[in-house]
Structure 1
Amino acid sequence: MLSFTLNAQTEVTFFVEDIPEGTENVGIRGNTAPLSWESSAVLQPSGTGYSIQLTFPQSGADLEYKFVLFERDNDVIWENTPNRSLKLPATGELITVNAKWNREQVLDISKLEPIPPELLLEDYKLVETLVLDLHPGTYRYKSKSEIQAALDRLKGAFSEPQTHQQAYLAVSRMMATLQCDHTKAGFNNQTPIINSIIHYQPDKLPFTFRWFGDEMILKENASQQNELQRGTEIVAINGIPVGDIKREMLPYIGADGATDKNREYKMEINGYDFRYNAFDIFFPLLYPIENNQVQLEIRQPGETDTKAITVTTLTREDRSALLASRYPDFPETRDEMWSFEILPGEIAKLTLNSFGLMGWKAMTIDYKAFLDAAFSEIRNSGISNLIIDIRENNGGNDEMAIELFEYLARTMPAYDREGRTRYKSFPESLKSHIRTWGDNPWYYELKPKTAMTEEGYYIFEEEGNRKKSKKPIYEGNTYLLTSPANTSLAFYTALRFKTQNLGVMIGGETGGNLNDINGGQIIFLTLPHSQIEIDSPVMGGFSREPQPNTGVMPDIVVPIKKEDLQQGRDVVLEQALALIQKR
């Protein structure tokens, strides 16, 4: 929120609230004097927060800044958000900026102007370079003519003025063509403009749901409409059949190869505050919402007739808070995605639904101590059956899966795979527009073991951890529960479990792909004019021999029906327990 009063000089009052308890000092740092990135201007307690008034002699500057917490000024805690920004007026004014700690700045998107085609075409050239000269999986699933047709479609769109919303859709469709789970107009690493459009508007449906074919079946209700009970079928939204919405959205959803069940999973809403759902992003872009309301046509369980109701849309944050207040088991943090319990019959159940240690709303759990305590209890209690549930795990940090397998297998398997890139020297035109984790851009100049192959790849030796585990290995029966949500590291977890024959895999086909996936080092390319950030890997893993174009298939596939959701049944877990009973 900004308020302006004419004055002789540019004075800005910064106010921030929601400061964590126990904080000693609150400061602000920035790129324009009197602020700097090296030292903090200290805010003073003010009402429900902290404030400071600063005079900026350089009017017209583009100010970037962040709030910090500290005891000593050389050891600060930064906000885990993009830099905040403020255009200082060219004439003297008095400005008040109200903010909340660690909450990204929300911009007024109603004031965004369409982007001119001459600027969009400069962005297009960067996308073209990324796709044709760098991305390792450009031709993994698509022919050159198919890729060129997708690029031509993007260029055609960018030859006309585009809103930021239209540009985001066009880029998303282009990147989804590559059929790579790690390649997309990003959800997690966007610029403030795009984040304000796709994440922070009150345009999210006030419920969670799952797809069963073309049927959208409600799970949890955050609206004020009591008719929306678990198992209710959403037949249409604003008069549009939900099956049509699903088909319209599908071309914008990336996944590895032909794993369409994973695409379907991404078009569901789970409502977690710490995860972004593609449906939340693309539905308001494809079907703009007016006055924060949508009309639903619904059919309640056991009924044939439908009825119309109107619901108010919400922000992601408000929806998550409402769901957490109404449903005691609804997770509020990633840490709550891990649990350990002993079920009746002396069966251990280890739920590991995230491997996310880095970035936005990361896990804070001491995962090594957690796993050590769980396996110690299993060992000391003589438990002979262990269920490991990763059905909501989308991947994350390798070290977490490595630590898990220290208790399950003595050695690492040998995979018949190789690493590939499509470049040796990183394209110069992209360098000034990318960022990534780490300070060493090792990927700028690569040293492949071969010359370029006829297929246009450079080959690299795959390095793996071949050390033998020194931990006590669990010798009982192990059951791994999987689903189409399992991509990236979760896919590799399922693949290793099955490759090493560590137990019985039960549930649904995973995401990922048996032909391997693009991943490892991910770069974040920001298009300078549309401000769209694109996630892209620089290297891909490739199976040396062609494999089925699928994820990892369970030993026992368990179909889930809408009636199971309506009745609150976990049929996958039931299958695992029934198998244990037989044994």
Structure 2
Amino acid sequence: MKLVLSTLLTAAIMLTACATASTPDTPQFTRAEIEEDYEALLDFITSTHPDLSRSADFEVISTTAQQVRGSLPAVMSLPEAWMAMAVVNPLFGDAHTGLRRPVAAIESYQADGGRLFPAPVTIGQGGILRIAYNAEAEMGAAPGAQILEINNIDSQSIVARLAPRMRGETPELQRLIMERYFAEYYWLAYGGFEKYRVRIVNKDGTHQTVTLKAGVSEVSEDPGFRYERLDHGAALLTVPTFDLKYGAQFAAFLERAFEDVRQSGANTLIIDLRENGGGARDLSDLLIGYLSIEPVATTARITARVTEENAARLPGASLGTVVTVPLRQMTRLTSEPPKPFEGRVYVLIGKLTYSQAVVFAATVQDNGLAVIAGEETEGPANQTAQVQSNLLPHTGLEALAPLYVFTRASGEEGTRGLVPDIEIKDDPADPARSVEKLLALVQAAE
């Protein structure tokens, strides 16, 4: 993946001019320590990822890394260190690869009473920032209002500063990731405040300055699994995550939902994965178990970096090497498989559908278990997987890289996103419209 180098180098050079606000007790790191961490980051990724060349340009990575090394100030805080090193993130062209935002540091900051920007946002073409359409009206700024400034900083300048530090296969996916975690990335770039002074343009064109009081964000333990009966004998499953920590909740959710599907006599099932960023095959296999009585293939082959962890499964391969082998990895059934749903199944995907959610959707498409509807995913149908992490020696920031590249069960190669059988454009202002459109198409086809 070739990127515009000048944009990335400018982002690195901006570091010294746009330092993140810090408090007296913020840990500080020397230039030498950051240089060592940067080398550790690059070494870990290049020695772990099985096929960086599928998405990255090594010459651009090398040139950018050299520029970053030359732009480091003498002393840096943790947010400043992340901002400096993360310039390399988009160069890898893989959301599973790069420098992760410092989640532990952000959570620690919040636990100590720190405040993040309180409003969810959307980021449009040209870096136009808006209050998200699903924001609470009581927040003080109308949902959908365009943000011109936050604390006297032009919103497009904010987006332009953050954008060159996002992981992801495409600029669109990088934008969506920035949108989802905007409050955390804003904190890394500008620090936290008790209040945020926001200049906005309302839908009627009027300008307004509002003060948003930052609250203490609480980590929700609700994974967002939802079941709903729809009209015309249809049912809707909303599955926003396959995160392993929700495994028990997911199993119980599926049991209740499919019991109601049976009792209601539903003959059409829609599974909404538009917000699902992935997780573990343990959960996606559970769901497939309600759609198929037999195990089904999820892959045709894999490309793998050989490590101590997987060497036993790759006989004859030397540690550190990369191998490509045929592999029909099958879904795993539970000890007491449920009776599978026998009606029509549609899986709704979107640009944010990623990782294991893409693997699930590709699997049901390749095995004829469901019709895929929605928008082509920004992440590829052939996903990287088994993401490894490594804590950098001085800052403790987390480097990420996958061990595998999976080729989908159909055997189709390439890095294109998962293409739906039925294209339905999402409406950010009304996500439910996609479900309504799909249901209307289903009814019209009867």
TM-score normalized with structure 1 length:
0.64
Task: Say if 1:506 and 1:576, in contact at 8 Å, map to a contact too.
Answer: yes
CA contact (8 A) 1:506 1:572 kept: no
The answer on 1:207 being equivalent to 2:69 is no
Contact 2:359–2:383 under 8 Å retained in 1: no
Specify the SS of the correspondent of 1:340: strand
Q: Which has the higher helix share?
A: 2
The alignment status of 1:242 with 2:125, answered yes or no, reads: no
TM-superposed CA distance for 1:575, in Å, is: 0.8
Give aligned pairs, total: 417
Q: Which moved more, 1:480-489 or 1:195-204?
A: 195-204
Match of 1:119 among 33, 44, 56: 33
In 2: Cα distance, 1:468 partner to 1:417 partner: 21
- Please name the residue that 2:201 is paired with: 299
1:510 corresponds, among 372, 377, 393, to: 377
Residue 61 of structure 2: aligned partner: 147
Match of 1:350 among 237, 248, 273: 237
The 8 Å contact of residues 136 and 143 in structure 2, kept in 1 or not, is answered as no
The whole-number CA distance in structure 2 between the counterparts of 1:351 and 1:177 is 33
Find out whether 1:333 has 2:198 as its counterpart.
no
Q: Please state how far the C-alpha of 1:206 moved relative to its aligned partner.
A: 1.9
2:5 corresponds to: none
Partner residue, 1:404: 287
**Residue by residue, what CA displacement relative to the aligned partner does 1:241-299 show, whole Å, maximum 9, x if unpaired?**
434433332221111x23x3332221224xxxxxxx2x12221222345x533322212
SS in 2 for 1:574: helix
Say whether residues 1:529 and 2:394 are aligned partners: yes
SS at match of 2:32: helix
Cα gap change, 1:129 to 1:446, in 2 (>3 Å): farther
Judged with a 3 Å threshold, the aligned counterparts in structure 2 of structure 1 residues 218 and 370 are, in CA distance, closer, same or farther, namely: closer
Alignment of 1:382-397 (within 5 A): 382-397=265-280
Q: Which has the higher strand share?
A: 1
Partner residue, 2:15:
none
Structure 1 residues 464, 363: CA separation in 2 closer, same or farther (over 3 Å shift)?
Answer: closer
- Counterpart in the other structure of 1:457: 322
Q: What letter is aligned with 1:378?
A: V
Aligned to 2:366: 499
Q: Is the 8 A contact 1:482 1:508 kept in 2?
A: yes
Shift of 1:188: 7.3
Counterpart for residue 355 of structure 2? 488
What residue number does 1:262 align with? 173
| 1:183 alignment counterpart | 97
Cα separation, partners in 2 of 1:450 and 1:534, compared to 1, 3 Å:
closer
Deviations 1:10-54 (A, max 9, x none): xxxxxxxxxxxxxxxxxxxxxxxxxxxxxxxxxxxxxxxxxxxxx
Amino acid at match of 1:478: V
2:437 is aligned to: 575
Q: Note the alpha carbon deviations across 1:315-357, whole angstroms, 9 max, x for none.
A: 322xx7xxxxxxxxxxx4334x112222233211122222122
Q: Against the structure 1 CA distance between its residues 414 and 479, is the aligned structure 2 distance closer, same or farther, given a 3 Å change threshold?
A: closer
Report the AA paired with residue 339 of structure 1: R
The percent of aligned pairs where both chains have the same amino acid is 21
Paired residue secondary structure (2:283):
helix
Of 274, 280, 305, the residue aligned with 2:183 is 280
Q: CA deviation at 1:388?
A: 1.1
Question: How many angstroms apart in 2 are the aligned matches of 1:157 and 1:208?
Answer: 33
Paired residue for 1:371? 254
The CA RMSD over aligned residues, in Å, is 3.3
Once the two structures are superposed, residues 347-394 of structure 1 have per-residue CA deviations (whole angstroms, 9 ceiling, x without a partner) of 111222221223xxx4651x3343234333323443211111122221
Matched residue SS, 2:200: strand
Query: Is the contact made by 1:389 and 1:480 (CA closer than 8 Å) also made in structure 2?
Result: yes
How far apart in 2 are the matches of 1:153 and 1:307?
Answer: 41
The aligned runs of 1:28-177 (5 Å cut-off) are 109-158=23-72, 160-177=74-91
Q: Matches of 1:442 and 1:402 in 2, distance apart?
A: 22
TM-score (norm 2): 0.81
Listed one character per residue, the Cα deviations across residues 423-447 of structure 1 (whole Å, up to 9, x for unaligned) are x5x6xxxxxxxxxxxxxx5258985
Structure of higher CA gyration radius: 1
3-state SS, counterpart of residue 175 of structure 2: helix
Instruction: Name the CA distance, whole Å, in 2 between partners of 1:223 and 1:373.
Output: 33
Q: What CA distance in whole angstroms lies between the structure 2 residues aligned with 1:171 and 1:137?
A: 22
| Secondary structure of residue in 2 paired with 1:391 | coil
Distance 1:368 1:222, change over 3 A: closer
1:82-117: CA deviation from partner (whole Å, max 9, x where unpaired): xxxxxxxxxxxxxxxxxxxxxxxxxx9532353122
Q: Larger RCO: Structure 1 or Structure 2 (Cα < 8 Å, ≥ 6 residues apart)?
A: 2
After TM superposition, give the deviation of residue 534 of structure 1 in Å.
1.9
Between the aligned partners of 1:206 and 1:346, the Cα distance in structure 2 is 40
CA distance in 1, matches of 2:231, 2:331: 37
* 1:207–1:219 contact (8 Å) kept in structure 2: no
1:162–1:137 CA distance, 2 compared to 1 (3 A): farther
1:414 shift after superposition: 6.1
What amino acid does structure 1 have at the position aligned with 2:28? P
Residue 147 of structure 1 deviates from its aligned partner by 2.1
